[in-house]
Amino acid sequence: MAAPAHFISRGRQLLAVLCLLLLPAWPGMALEVPLLKGRVNDYAGMLAPATVQQLENSLNLFETEQSTQIVILTVTSLAGDSLEDFSLRAAETWQIGQKGKDNGALLVISKNDRKIRIEVGYGLEGTLTDLTSGRIIRDVITPQFRNGNFDQGVINGATAMMAAVKGEFTADEPRTSSGSSTNNDPGGLIVPLLIGLFFVGRLFGKHRMLTATTGAVAAPLFGIFALGFQWL
Q: Is the dihedral of CA 77, 80, 81, 84 positive or negative?
A: positive
Whether 209 has a pLDDT exceeding 50, the answer reads no
Whether 80 has a pLDDT exceeding 80, the answer reads yes
Whether 82 has a pLDDT exceeding 90, the answer reads yes
The CATH code of the domain at 29-165 is 3.10.310.50
Q: What is the pLDDT of residue 30?
A: 86
Which residues fall within 8 angstroms of residue 175, CB to CB, at 6 or more apart? Answer: none
The ranges assigned to domains in the chain are 29-165, 185-232
Whole-angstrom Cα Rg for the chain: 21
| pTM of the shown model | 0.67
For residue range 85-103, list pLDDT tens digits in order: 999 999 999 999 988 889 9
- pLDDT higher at 15 or 136: 136
DSSP E strand stretches across 83-131: 104-110, 115-120
Which residues fall within 8 angstroms of residue 49, CB to CB, at 6 or more apart? Answer: none
Whether 148 has a pLDDT exceeding 60, the answer reads yes
Length of the chain as a residue count: 232
For residue range 31-74, list pLDDT tens digits in order: 999 999 999 999 999 999 999 999 999 999 999 999 999 999 99
Whether 27 has a pLDDT exceeding 60, the answer reads no
